[in-house]
Amino acid sequence: MSGSEPTTGKVGIFLCECGGEIAGPIDLDRLSRDLSALGPDVSVQTTPYWCSVLGRRRLRAAIEKEGLDAVVVAGCSERTHGTTMAEAAAQAGVNRNRTVLVNLLEHCAMVHPRKKTAATSKAARMVRIGVAKAMEAIPLEPVTTEVHGSAVVIGGGVAGLSAARALAARGIPVVLVEREPELGGILRDVNLLFPSYGDAARFAAEMSDRTVADERIDVRTSSTVVDVAGHAGEYVVTVETGGVTEDVRAGSIVLATGADVFVPLGLFGYGSNEKVVTQIEFESVLREGLDDARRIVMIQCVGSRIAERPYCSRVCCTATVKNTITVLESVPDAEITVLTRGFAEYVGDLDRARESGVAFLRYDPERPPRVEDDAVRVFDVISSEEVAIPYDLVVLATPLVARADTAELARKLGLPVDDQGFVAEPHTKLRPSTYAPHGVFVAGSAHWPATVTECQSQAFSAASRVAELLGRGTIEREPMIAAVDELTCRGCGECVEACAHDAPRLVEGEDGIKISRIDALRCVGCGVCIRVCPSSAITLQQFTPRQLLDIIGAAAEA
Amino acid sequence: MAKCPTKVADSFNVGLGERKAIYLYFDQGIPSVMTIDEDNCRYFATGKCKVCEKMCKKGAVDFEQKDHRVSLDVGAIILATGLSVMDPTPLTQYGYGRIPNVITGLEYERLINATGPTGGHLLRPSDGELAHRVGFVQCAGSRDLNHCDYCSSVCCMYSIKDAMLGREHDPESVSHIFHTDLRNVGKWFQRYQIRGEEEYGIKFVRGRIAEIQHGPADNPVLWYEDTRTREVASLEVDLVVLATAALPSLDAKELAGTLGVKVDRYGFVLTDDATPSSTNVKGIYACGFCKGPCDIPESVAQASAAASSASTRVLGNK
Ligand SMILES: Cc1cc2nc3c(=O)[nH]c(=O)nc-3n(C[C@H](O)[C@H](O)[C@H](O)COP(=O)(O)OP(=O)(O)OC[C@H]3O[C@@H](n4cnc5c(N)ncnc54)[C@H](O)[C@@H]3O)c2cc1C
Ligand SMILES: Cc1cc2nc3c(=O)[nH]c(=O)nc-3n(C[C@H](O)[C@H](O)[C@H](O)COP(=O)(O)OP(=O)(O)OC[C@H]3O[C@@H](n4cnc5c(N)ncnc54)[C@H](O)[C@@H]3O)c2cc1C
Ligand code: SF4
Ligand code: SF4
């Protein structure tokens, strides 16, 4: 266990009026009296706003004058003011981990606005819990690391290329790792690009050429990442090219491995009927020039928006609408019918396609279309009729699906993936573009099916976050982490298996036996490993068992 | 603020509540500083009052302050002027303004918000009673050739969110969402919709509302054709929420004109495929809703992208 044993000493309780927000619903005078009775090692004081400049000055003065070892600020939330208050207390010598916030505002005053007596008793109990937590807290120091000034980008599709170029433009050296012999990703197989109807492959080729020509970008094609060690600021990425491996150091990593286009084997005759192709194959057909196929039936949502894959892949409807317009521009007498389940994705050119003569029919997923030898038969929901549409070609719009090996790679990076295999962020709405490991960012369809413009926005966004991180020189993190007691650990590796962030790794200890060691900069402090460890060798530094027992004791006390 | 004698409609709460002539924009507004509304302040109108000046112990109230113009010399500009919502009054079939219990999505957001004018209770405008039966009308003005022929992109999801919040605040709440094509394409949006249906009892009805009538007890009555069953049906509810089209901000075109930035026919700033943050004017970038409908995560990604492009330029690498 790291850190010394807690020094139970003097604790200061700082009650905050929060203007009148707390002082109104809670009787702070009574609270103060009750808490003072806790003992001689406890001092209590009240101020309108502890978070104000004046309040913090008073806090520091009180710590120094009374020689406090721990601080409990009973005011608002840890999330909004935890750092501010801990920093103020630290300036006067109280360890950051020994400053505890008790959220009287949101957890008591605001929820019990009209029950002063009960609210005051509850507040007293809450503060006593805070005191227990603070008194038993291990003094911890922030974990710091030097930052290596370069970046690795994994995947050379439009997202990876954009990220690499944006980083290089800021003077950051980049190693770009692409598995295929060529850069460009999916776009190499796309004909025209919506919304501009420019040449997609040329767009990808130009971008690739500029990337290769940029001397700040070291492009490694036909290469894969076999391992990622280290943490934000100093990663070691093992890159394999033609059987040869090399360790590349980097301060930060951008994952841009894209997605696969789903192959609908066995659906709607795909694989057995040669007149059935996928939309991405149709892109190549269009590039070559449509031969004599005139009657084209397109089927949407093939393999998407179903129980197994409950999502809309967005780009397939875009591709379909774009391709109907592309066909009709060159072959105005083509007859195109699109069978949809309703457009979840809205495509700006839908009306243009309709005006050009494309027929849109709606099918019911319970009664899907049948591709027979002579015609596609479908029950049209709008007219409530079964219709037969003769065809020369059937085009299936299949979704983007997560690449199987991205999940494995994500694991090495300490990035969780969701049940569909897309990379998951801690909160899609509140913390977009932010990921659990501090040095890893994600762009493009590896995160979720994305259009080219979205891939680029995300790539630029990732690049600006990488640049911000690398620009810091050193990084510091709160030590809210798990640590292994090396004497108790038996090296079974259960924690290594359990951790979604790849923080624990088995290493050889001093006497040659295997033990687990947790990388403090990878650990997010979730505690999953503690539960699986059969030897109880792991402790969460900011919540030791003793602390928890004391907290429970304080909570249970009458 | 408490002593100010003048009460006016609160624009932050889209006119649903009242505020004083000296006020804080909203509880979490930044900067958190009081402002005097010159148009409504008694002192500015009559030369008398100054109650607030007397009350303020810090002497912070200054009636002499004037607006002033500043010129800034900058290397880059980022446009992030966002959206405004369409006024649904011209959509006469929905009766907004005529039927008291027909409100907009933005108004609903304020009512259901704990810091809003009703403390988070869904009290309907006509009688202040709790609304249990709510009808959400999607595409009010959107995907409509006569108004906005594009999809506003965010309303389907916010209506689902709002219906879920309604149920969380009131277990008896039942929401019907009348939609065109339900737009649920973002990350895990479909799963969110399924949760809305299964856990929050939201009823999704595919069909456009033909008309809203003023029913008994000020209850709106929705008339629609259910496109699944092809039958004309009606539903009486306590409250109707119009998911009104989202437009560029009101002065977007004017601002674009001043800057020489190209906008599309709706007034959204144009950027091109290859450089999604850059406008046609060198050094001017754009992000968020002013470029076209997008939700918060996408706005945030675009914002970082614009910041990245702008800083690269300002730092002189380009
Ligand atoms: C039929 C179709 C038509 C489309 N049409 C349009 C359109 O008109 N407009 C539009 O905006 N969008 C369109 N899209 C969507 C768009 O093409 C993609 O979403 C976009 O190209 C994804 O870019 P990306 O960089 O995220 O991924 P990708 O293009 O998939 O690139 C990822 C790259 O990473 C590499 N890689 C993967 N795993 C590894 C690994 N482990 N190690 C190293 N390298 C790895 C891959 O080889 C690939 O080169 C279309 C998509 C389809 C399927
Ligand atoms: C009712 C409703 C509910 C929604 N709910 C959700 C939701 O739950 N989740 C979600 O992801 N998205 C939601 N959205 C969408 C979300 O509001 C937008 O994605 C987001 O606000 C866009 O951010 P923005 O910064 O581009 O624009 P805005 O938020 O509109 O900000 C633009 C800012 O620019 C200012 N401004 C405008 N013009 C000028 C000018 N000329 N000079 C100076 N300043 C100017 C405005 O005052 C404003 O402060 C909702 C939208 C609506 C209408
Ligand atoms: S607490 Fe354990 S499981 Fe969680 S991140 Fe740390 S090492 Fe991994
Ligand atoms: S998001 Fe939904 S409600 Fe809004 S315009 Fe699009 S389809 Fe209509």
pLDDT tens-digit map of B175-221: 999 998 888 888 889 999 999 999 999 999 988 899 999 999 999 99
Three-state DSSP state, A237: strand
Q: Tell me which residue in B304, B312, B315 faces A433 most closely, judged by beta carbons.
A: B304
Terminal CA-to-CA distance of chain B, rounded, Å? 50
Q: Tell me which residue in B275, B301, B306 faces A433 most closely, judged by beta carbons.
A: B301
DSSP per-residue string spanning A268-337: TTTTT-TTEEEHHHHHHHHHH---S--EEEEE--SS-SSSSS-S--SHHHHHHHHHHHHHHHH-TT-EEE
Q: How far is A153 from A524, CA to CA, in rounded Å?
A: 23
Three-state DSSP state, B28: coil
Distance of CA B208 to the CA centre of its chain: 22
Report the alpha-carbon angle B225-B229-B234, nearest 5. 40
Interface check for B300 against chain A (CB to CB < 8 A): the answer is: yes
Per the listing, tokens 């002497």 go with: B59
For chain B, domains (ranges, CATH) are 1-71 (no CATH), 74-318 (3.50.50.60)
Beta strand A174-177 pairing with A217-220: parallel
Distance of CA A64 to the CA centre of its chain: 42
Q: Tell me which residue in A311, A346, A447 faces B153 most closely, judged by beta carbons.
A: A346
Whether the CB-CB separation of A285 and A334 falls below 8 Å is answered with no
**Strand partners of residue A64:** none
Three-state DSSP state, A466: helix
Whether the CB-CB separation of A458 and A451 falls below 8 Å is answered with no
Neighbours of A293 (CB within 10 A): 16
Q: How far is B222 from B236, CA to CA, in rounded Å?
A: 6
Does position B281 have pLDDT exceeding 90, yes or no? yes
Q: Is the dihedral of CA A281, A301, A329, B278 positive or negative?
A: negative
Global pTM reads 0.79
pLDDT of the residue at B30? 61
Q: Is the peptide bond before A195 cis (omega within 30 degrees of 0)?
A: yes
Interface check for A460 against chain B (CB to CB < 8 A): the answer is: yes
Q: How far is A351 from A347, CA to CA, in rounded Å?
A: 9
Maximal CA-CA distance, chain B: 68
For chain A, domains (ranges, CATH) are 11-142 (3.40.50), 151-260+401-475 (3.50.50.60), 263-398 (3.50.50.60), 480-540 (3.30.70.3270)
pLDDT of the residue at A346? 77
Distance of CA A349 to the CA centre of its chain: 32
Maximal CA-CA distance, chain A: 94
Q: How long a stretch of residues is chain B?
A: 318
pLDDT of the residue at A2? 40
Neighbours of A45 (CB within 10 A): 15
Supply the residue whose CA is at minimum distance from atom 2 of ligand 3. Answer: A529
Contacts of B50 (CB under 8 A, 6+ apart): B43, B61, B63
Q: How far is B182 from A346, CA to CA, in rounded Å?
A: 10
Task: Tell me what the mean pLDDT of segment B290-315 comes to.
Answer: 89
Neighbours of A145 (CB within 10 A): 18
Whether the CB-CB separation of A216 and A175 falls below 8 Å is answered with no
DSSP run (H or E) holding A74? strand A70-74
Q: How far is A15 from A32, CA to CA, in rounded Å?
A: 8
| Helix ranges restricted to H, A46-174 | 53-66, 78-91, 104, 116-136, 158-169
Contacts of A111 (CB under 8 A, 6+ apart): none
What are the pocket residues of ligand 2 if the criterion is a CB atom closer than 6 Å to any ligand atom?
A 429; B 80-83, 85, 105-106, 109, 154, 158, 161, 246, 249, 251, 255, 288-290, 294-296, 299
Return the residue of A nearest to B274 by Cα: A453
Q: How far is A200 from A217, CA to CA, in rounded Å?
A: 23
Q: How far is B203 from B177, CA to CA, in rounded Å?
A: 6
Q: How far is A89 from B142, CA to CA, in rounded Å?
A: 54
The one-letter amino acid code at A241 reads T
CA distances from B124 to A476, B9, B171 (A): 51, 17, 17
pLDDT of the residue at A296? 95
Beta strand A538-540 pairing with A482-484: antiparallel
**Strand partners of residue B286:** B79
Three-state DSSP state, A92: coil
Distance of CA A142 to the CA centre of its chain: 23
Q: How far is A547 from A130, CA to CA, in rounded Å?
A: 10
Q: How far is B135 from B233, CA to CA, in rounded Å?
A: 14
- Would you state the structure tokens that stand for residue B207, as one six-digit string? 């069909």
In this predicted model, what pLDDT tens digit does every residue of B13-29 receive, in sequence order? 777 778 888 887 776 66
Interface check for A208 against chain B (CB to CB < 8 A): the answer is: no
pLDDT of the residue at B184? 86
What are the pocket residues of ligand 1 if the criterion is a CB atom closer than 6 Å to any ligand atom?
A 154-160, 177-180, 185-187, 190, 193-194, 224-225, 256-259, 261, 279-280, 283, 315, 318-319, 322, 403, 405, 409, 444-445, 450-452, 455
Residues of chain A with pLDDT under 50: 1-4
Terminal CA-to-CA distance of chain A, rounded, Å? 33
Report the alpha-carbon angle B260-B262-B265, nearest 5. 135
In this predicted model, what pLDDT tens digit does every residue of B102-153 receive, in sequence order? 999 999 999 998 777 888 889 999 999 999 999 999 999 988 878 888 899 9
Does position B317 have pLDDT exceeding 60, yes or no? no
Choose among A233, A214, A201, A218: nearest CA to A477.
A233
Q: How far is A447 from A440, CA to CA, in rounded Å?
A: 13
What are the pocket residues of ligand 3 if the criterion is a CB atom closer than 6 Å to any ligand atom?
A 482, 495, 498-499, 501, 503-504, 518, 523-529
Question: What whole-number percentage of chain B has pLDDT above 90?
Answer: 51
Interface check for B227 against chain A (CB to CB < 8 A): the answer is: yes
Does position B285 have pLDDT exceeding 80, yes or no? yes
Contact A447 B187 (CB under 8 A): yes
Supply the residue whose CA is at minimum distance from atom 29 of ligand 2. Answer: B82
Q: Is the dihedral of CA A184, A188, A189, A191 positive or negative?
A: positive
pLDDT of the residue at A4? 45
DSSP run (H or E) holding A549? helix A545-556
Distance of CA A335 to the CA centre of its chain: 44
Q: Is the dihedral of CA B54, B59, B65, B68 positive or negative?
A: negative
Choose among A420, A425, A426, A428: nearest CA to A402.
A420
Strand blocks (E) in B227-279? 231-236, 239-244, 246-248
Whether the CB-CB separation of B217 and B124 falls below 8 Å is answered with no
Centre of ligand 2 from the C-alpha of residue B148, in Å: 18
Interface check for A1 against chain B (CB to CB < 8 A): the answer is: no
Confidence category of residue B318, pLDDT binned at 50, 70, 90:
very low
Contacts of B29 (CB under 8 A, 6+ apart): B12
DSSP collapsed to 3 states, B37-54: CCCCCHHHHHCCCCHHHH
Whether the CB-CB separation of A469 and A280 falls below 8 Å is answered with no
Contact B276 A457 (CB under 8 A): yes
A210-217 LR contacts (CB < 8 Å, sep 24+):
A210/A165, A211/A156, A211/A161, A211/A164, A211/A165, A211/A176, A211/A183, A212/A183, A214/A164, A214/A165, A214/A168, A216/A168, A216/A171, A216/A172, A216/A173, A216/A174, A217/A164, A217/A165, A217/A168, A217/A173, A217/A174, A217/A175, A217/A176
Q: How far is A27 from A124, CA to CA, in rounded Å?
A: 10
- Would you state the structure tokens that stand for residue A360, as one six-digit string? 């849109």
Q: Please provide residue A91's backbone torsions phi and psi, each rounded to the nearest 5 degrees.
A: -60, -30
Centre of ligand 1 from the C-alpha of residue A536, in Å: 45
pLDDT of the residue at A513? 85
